[in-house]
């Protein structure tokens, strides 16, 4: 959960494209050294301090090639690839809601729209195109998350006596939440696929950055005063990506 991050270019491997494909390099103001994260479905992220050169990143990745390969293989054994399929039902434990999804096909429409009736999401238009359907579902998830998150965040802001200027909802691929130096909290709509406890913890974590824009002992002490189980919840988040359905496209 970083405060600010800039997405840099991908660095494909010239000798083994399949081994290196999917690498994302993220520049972080908090990073003191280069590090690599491998996610359950094989996505690899290299986190680097600001102003790190592309040559240094390539050398670092090359030096850790065997570890990356072994970690990917271990994840693949534990989490076999899921076939892509558009959902008929979307369960969102984080907000304790579930929705049925219906598709109304209209081959004459170049777009896919969504509307919500009680607990049913209806996609209409060019629903033969899976990519357009996924884009519409993501728009719906973002809209729903904004409605569900804001009152929760405001309540926790009062509880923790911390302030924030604005809340943004995004579909980040490697980050559950962030707090910018300008006071904007960004939350991942994928948190709705996790438990209410994980959603609440991420909100508390980001709110506490209003007082401590770091992960110091004082910061964790503040987090722990409002969420005593923060160590377990924080550790869980590293593997919680496996709970995100394949159709969302978060790897």
Distance from C-alpha of 73 to C-alpha of 102, rounded to nearest angstrom: 36
Determine the pLDDT at residue 164: 97
Helix and strand tally (H, E) in the chain? Answer: 7, 11
| pLDDT digits 0-9 by tens, 38-94 | 776 667 878 889 888 888 888 888 888 888 888 777 766 666 666 778 999 999 999
Indicate the pTM of the whole model.
0.75
CATH of domain 89-248: 3.30.2010.10
Contact yes or no for 26/7 (Cβ under 8 A): yes
| pLDDT digits 0-9 by tens, 154-213 | 999 999 999 999 999 999 877 899 999 999 999 999 999 999 999 999 999 999 999 999
* Domain residue ranges of the chain, discontinuous segments joined by +: 5-78, 89-248
């Amino acid at each position: 959960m970083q405060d600010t991050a800039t997405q840099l270019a991908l660095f494909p491997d010239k000798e083994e494209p399949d081994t290196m494909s999917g690498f994302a390099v993220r520049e972080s103001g908090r990073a003191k050294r280069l590090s690599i994260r491998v996610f359950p479905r094989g996505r690899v992220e290299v986190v680097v301090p600001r102003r790190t050169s592309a040559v240094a990143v390539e050398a670092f990745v090359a030096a850790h090639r065997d570890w990356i390969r072994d970690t990917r293989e271990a994840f693949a054994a534990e989490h076999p690839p899921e076939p892509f399929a558009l959902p008929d039902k979307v369960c969102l434990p984080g907000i304790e809601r579930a929705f049925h999804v219906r598709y109304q096909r209209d081959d004459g429409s170049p777009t896919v729209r969504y509307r919500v009736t009680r607990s049913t999401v209806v996609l209409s238009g060019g629903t033969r195109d899976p990519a357009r359907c996924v884009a519409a579902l993501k728009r719906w998830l973002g809209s729903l998350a904004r409605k569900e998150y804001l009152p929760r965040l405001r309540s926790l802001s009062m509880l923790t006596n911390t302030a924030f200027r604005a809340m943004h909802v995004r579909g980040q691929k490697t980050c559950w939440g962030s707090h910018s130096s300008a006071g904007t909290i960004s939350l991942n709509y994928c948190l709705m696929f996790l438990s209410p406890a994980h959603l609440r913890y991420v909100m508390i974590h980001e709110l506490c950055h209003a007082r401590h824009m770091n992960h110091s002992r004082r910061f964790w002490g503040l987090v722990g005063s409002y969420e005593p189980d923060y160590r377990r919840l924080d550790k869980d988040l590293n593997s919680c990506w496996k709970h995100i359905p394949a159709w969302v496209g978060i790897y």
